[in-house]
Amino acid sequence: MNNPKKLIVSHAPFWHIGSAVPERNFNIIIAALPAALMGLAAFGIPALAVLSLSVASAVGWEWGVNALAKRKNTVGDGHAVLIGLLFGMLLPAAAPWWLVVTGTFTAVVIGKLIFGGIGANPFNPAVLAYAILSVAWKTFFDFDAQLIHYSLDFTPFYPLTAAKAFGTRAVAGIPLTELFFGWQIGGIGAGCGLALILGGIYLIARGFVRWEIPLSFIAGLFITAALFHMAAPEVYAGPMFHLLTGFSLIAAFFLAPEDSSSPVNTTPMLIYGTLGGVMTMLIRNMGQYPEGVIFAVLLINLINPLVDKIRPKAIGKVA
Amino acid sequence: MLSKPFFGYANPKFTYELLSTSLPRPVTITSPPVVTLMLPRKMGGAASPQLKPGTRVLTGQLLTWDDAPGPGVVSSVTGTIRQVSAHLGDYGRKYTAIVVETEKADEFDEGFAAACESADLSGLADYLSGVPGSPDLHQLTDPQKPIHTIIIYGGDTDLLVDTNLFVVKSRMADIAKGIHLLKAKAGAEKIVLTVPGESFQNFDGHFEAEVIAVPNAYPYGQPLMIFYQRFNRILDQGQTFQDQGVLFMRAEAVAAIGQALTEKRVPNEKLVTVLDKQGRKRLVSARIGTPIGEILKATGITLQERDRLVLGGPMTGTAVFSEDQPVMADTDAIMAQDASRITATSDYPCINCGECIRVCPANIAVNILVRFLEAGEYQEGADLYDLYACVECGLCSFVCTSRIPILQYIKLAKFELAREVPVEEANE
């Protein structure tokens, strides 16, 4: 009975598939990196400064607030890095340092930690931070105003603002391939459709993102844009233009499918994604803002708990 | 399969073991120096003199705590009682552990042969409830809650284990005899034998029982899943298989009953699938009560500090803390796990990735349920989020990204709710 060998005792099951939270976050970061690198290629060193500061300050906030609140240090799970990276990818390359640091504070602390940390955030932290800051400091999120001193070798205006202000004709000259390869004004990491799609396919294939959300988001956006375009081709730009500009693709693959703020059952995921796409186009075409993704994503985050109640009947349940 | 495939979109699929036509030969472990018999009750007041340390017991002798009717245990060896102590099992089950120092030669007790003469089921049940496979025959004699269906599972309930399938394939005559006895004596309207779908052809029509095929995918062999498949309802809060008129029995138990009637002796050799650290397996036949350490020695398995020793299979077994624990009548498998292959559970919160939702065979909203259970809101979990639809297969814990011990939460919740009901009834 005084066996010196101490065995590990735990509850069944005794196997685990081997997945883990850090692995998941690091894979999403890897998938987002090509788009971020394309952003660096388009905007140069200032973009690198914004991205670096964004990641570093997000990690700093998470570490600092956890230490202050005497909670377990959760920096190691990679979620703060992911939030910092995604937030940085949404910003214009010329964002001032204080905007980045305030933004990551809003994302990490107000968007996530005060709700209880990873898994408890009702909104996508990066999107929430972008929304709060873009309402507070409007000019700093005006891509045209921010990048006015830059000389770029591609279309030097923000396509969505131009399309909103002057109709389809203003953007008719922009080749879609230029948009697809990321030669456009916009968020640092949001421009290159090719890199975002590749990252998204990687995440879907490896099971880190559920395909229902990106696909229905894109379908909702594409169909709504097509309907607008058909109704008034002069006023509303075509669906491909809307798909490749602004935050459309980064939202479809990285912002909307954020684990904690998105549904997990099939039908709710389809509703969630479609509604996100539709709302984006409604805001872009009918609303006041040239870019609708941010508020569309916040809105679908808000309905997530409600739609996720639509779930398959458990076995043996009749009602 | 232990790790996530690189392309992780598809769900992991598990299948039960299917024995090949050339059956393996079990290793027999002869006469361990001591055995521990587990009397399924807590120690009471004055014990009967036959339990006094120093008393000699015979193979096949029925030991009870005292003369009052109650549970008993049949000695699997001849020897001398050395120690009687309390033992706490999984989920608070109380046992009295009787340690017997064995003698080389068996001397048989004739009590069972006498009980066979009377041929009364409740007399037989005292002897046969502890045979390999642990059939709860006393349920058949309870007039308050008649059993209408006996379901014999001819496959195993957990992965990698092939104890019961081996018994079905190698001891058909004993099983046929066991089924015959149950049919004649038990008063159950229906006896059902479940076998893996692939071997259905081999068994259909060979027994006095209805043979049904069960899909070979995990967890279709779980009793709760078989119950749902058969009756299209679940075991709801406060219900037991017994008060639904259903009794589950291992094929090994039925074979043991058949064997007992042929030989007029109580079978005492338990067949166990032993899984070593590399995942290789061996069938071992050992006396009930043999310390696990003896079996590990015989199969060349050595445990180090921080390894894990599991009674049962990888998905639903029970980890034990000591090699001194005995093989019991319901121990179908022994699994040794190396410290390096153990994935610790964590206290990380649910990140809502949805893996559990996609893998759950019972369509439970596991992500929400686990939030209620973590907060101790067991009744809400049962009322709103289908706690009782759970078939306890453990797949959710297996795939959980946050490594939450979900199955443990679920079983704890069911255990706590079951405990609360009697208190409420007592207050009325």
Of residues A226, A247, A245, the one with CA closest to residue A293: A247
Q: Which amino acid is at B89?
A: G
CB atoms inside a 10 Å sphere around CB B43 = 16
**pLDDT higher than threshold 50 for residue A211:** yes
Structure tokens given for B255: 């074979």
Residue type, A131: A
Q: What is the pLDDT of residues A124-133, one digit of tens each?
A: 999 999 999 9
Whole-number Cα distances in Å, B180 to A150, A245, B188, B266 = 91, 76, 12, 18
Per-residue confidence band for B22, with pLDDT thresholds at 50, 70 and 90:
confident
pLDDT at B2 over 60: no
**Band (B7; pLDDT cuts 50, 70, 90):** low
Q: How far apart are CA B111 and CA A3, in angstroms?
A: 37
pLDDT single digits (tens) B224-237: 999 999 999 899 88
Q: Is the pLDDT of residue A294 over 90?
A: yes
Tell me the mean pLDDT in the region A221-229.
97
Q: Can you tell me the distance from the alpha carbon of B126 to that of B94, in angstroms, rounded to the nearest whole number?
A: 18
The predicted model gives B382-397 an average pLDDT of 93
How large a percentage of chain B has pLDDT more than 90? 54
Provide the pLDDT for residue B138: 86
Query: Which residues between 186 and 205 in chain A have a beta carbon less than 8 angstroms from any beta carbon of chain B?
Result: 204-205
Q: Which of these ranges, A30-39, A98-107, A154-163, B324-333, has the smallest mean pLDDT?
A: A154-163
Coil vs helix vs strand at B194: strand
pLDDT single digits (tens) B275-300: 999 888 899 999 999 999 999 999 99
| CB of A2 less than 8 A from some CB of B | no
For residues A272-283, average pLDDT: 97
pLDDT value for B424: 64
A7 in contact with chain B, both atoms CB, cutoff 8 A? yes
A104 contact partners, CB below 8 Å, separation of at least 6: A54, A57, A58, A60, A61, A83, A84, A87, A129
What's the pLDDT tens digit per position in B108-120? 988 888 888 876 7
A14/B399 CB distance under 8 A = no
Average pLDDT over residues A283-288: 93
B55 contacts B79 by C-beta, under 8 angstroms: no
What is the rounded distance in angstroms from the CA atom of residue A109 to the CA atom of residue B215?
49
pLDDT attached to residue A130: 97
Tell me what the pLDDT averaged over chain A comes to.
93
Query: Could you give the percent of chain A with pLDDT greater than 90?
Result: 79
Asked whether residue B6 carries a pLDDT value surpassing 80, the answer given is no
Residue B10 has pLDDT above 80, yes or no: no
How far is B352 from chain A, CA to nearest CA, in Å?
5
Q: What whole-number distance in Å separates Cα of residue B79 and Cα of residue B99?
A: 10
What's the residue count for chain A?
Answer: 319
Which of B335, B343, B365 comes nearest A16 by C-beta? B343
pLDDT at B199: 79
Residue A243 has which token pair?
Answer: 């798909």
Provide the pLDDT for residue B1. 44
Q: Which of A272-281, B12-21, B61-70, B123-132 has the lowest mean pLDDT?
A: B12-21
In angstroms, the separation between the Cα of residue A262 and the nearest Cα of chain B is 8
Q: What is the reported pLDDT for B428?
A: 58
- Sign of the CA dihedral running A37, A39, A42, A46: negative
**Mean pLDDT across the stretch B246-255?**
93
When pLDDT is averaged across residues B350-366 and rounded to a whole number, the result is 93
Q: B308 is written with which tokens? A: 């894990």
What's the whole-number mean pLDDT along residues A225-236? Answer: 94
Would you call A291 an interface residue with chain B, using a CB distance cutoff of 8 Å? no
Find, among B125, B150, B169, the residue nearest to B271 by Cα.
B169
- ipTM, 2 dp: 0.91
**pLDDT at position B78, please?**
93
Mean pLDDT of A251-267: 95
Q: A114 to chain B nearest CA, in Å?
A: 14
* Contacts with B396 from chain A: Cβ below 8 Å: none
pLDDT at A151 over 80: no
Do A19 and B355 lie within an 8 Å CB cutoff?
yes
User: Is pLDDT above 90 for B175?
Assistant: yes
Q: Is A153 helix (H, G, I), strand (E, B) or coil?
A: coil
* pLDDT tens profile B31-66: 789 999 999 988 888 888 888 899 999 999 999 888
| pLDDT at residue number B280 | 87
Per-residue pLDDT band for B8 (boundaries 50, 70, 90) equals: low
pLDDT bin (cut points 50, 70, 90) of residue A57 is: very high
> Which residue in chain B has the smallest CA separation from A318?
B233
pLDDT at A266: 93
Residue indicated by tokens 């607008």: A228
Task: Report the C-alpha gap between B202 and B183 in whole angstroms.
Answer: 21
- Is the pLDDT higher at A317 or at B253? B253
Provide CB contacts within 8 A for A79, sequence distance 6+: A21, A25, A62, A112, A118
Q: If you measure CA to CA, which chain A residue comes closest to B235?
A: A316
Q: Are strands B210-214 and B246-250 parallel, antiparallel or unpaired?
A: unpaired
